[in-house]
Amino acid sequence: MELLTVIAVIGVLAAIAIPAIGHARVAANRSQCASNMRQIGLALLGYAADHRGALPPTTHTTAGLGIDGRYESWIYKLSPYLGDTDAVRICPADREERQKRIRENDGLTSYVLNDLIFDPEDGAPAYNNTRAIPHPSRTMTLFVVSDDRTINRGWDHAHCGDWNSWPAILADIEPDRHRAGDRAANRLKGSANYLFIDGHVENIDAREMKARVDSGRNPGAIPQ
């Protein structure tokens, strides 16, 4: 009887402890991811300050080549402002295989840029200069890339101009990146961090992001 009681107590304690450990891991990853983004935000602002407000180019705007013909990515263009670039270019909540691929390939990162800012289409307003952005504190600039998207040097930005539906957002970014357990079928369990062009980071619940797009608002648009 005593042995059964002990086993029952251990079972109850395990049932309490295991979810708590999972939630603690989620919180730690979310915090580290936010720290990564804040450092990237400060680096973007530092780069802009040294380039008359201009933001770093993407692989689409320069074919990814520097003046010496070598490949350059936006994250490594920020290296002089970041210090240890490798310490911030990977989201700690990424899947292990994704982290391994990023770590082994210079120029890759867990984070993607807002194309409306960094890769403006012909004829569209040019916002790739901090002085041209009307409301920096309301303008999203950096996201965690979707698990469903193959990461490579050419895919360094999200297609925010097309964010007119929840599936369009899910094709680009991971709005439920920080969650306990597996994805929910509707992708509404969890949250993600978002960097704004003024340098601050917000953690936004996936349900809130979906509510925004369902109401007709594009979360990645440039507020006027």
Segment 187-222, tens digit of pLDDT: 999 999 999 999 999 999 999 999 999 999 999 999
Total number of domains constituting the chain: 1
Residue 148 lies in a domain: yes
223 part of a folded domain: no
Containing structural domain, residue 129? 2-214
Assigned domain for 101 exists: yes
Cα 218-170-219 angle, rounded to 5 deg: 15
Provide the pLDDT for residue 186.
94
Residue 199 lies in a domain: yes
**pLDDT for 15:** 52
Residue 204 within any structural domain of the chain: yes
Contact predicate 42/199, CB 8 Å: yes
Q: Is residue 27 part of a domain?
A: yes
Residue 55 lies in a domain: yes
% of the chain with per-residue pLDDT over 70:
82
Q: Are strands 191-196 and 140-144 parallel, antiparallel or unpaired?
A: antiparallel
Q: What is the DSSP pairing of strand 191-196 with strand 157-158? A: unpaired
Contacts 24+ apart (CB under 8 A), 204-209: 204/175, 206/175, 206/176, 209/169, 209/175
Cα separation of 98 and 127, whole Å?
A: 31
Q: What is the pLDDT of residue 69?
A: 43
Has residue 186 been placed in a domain? Answer: yes
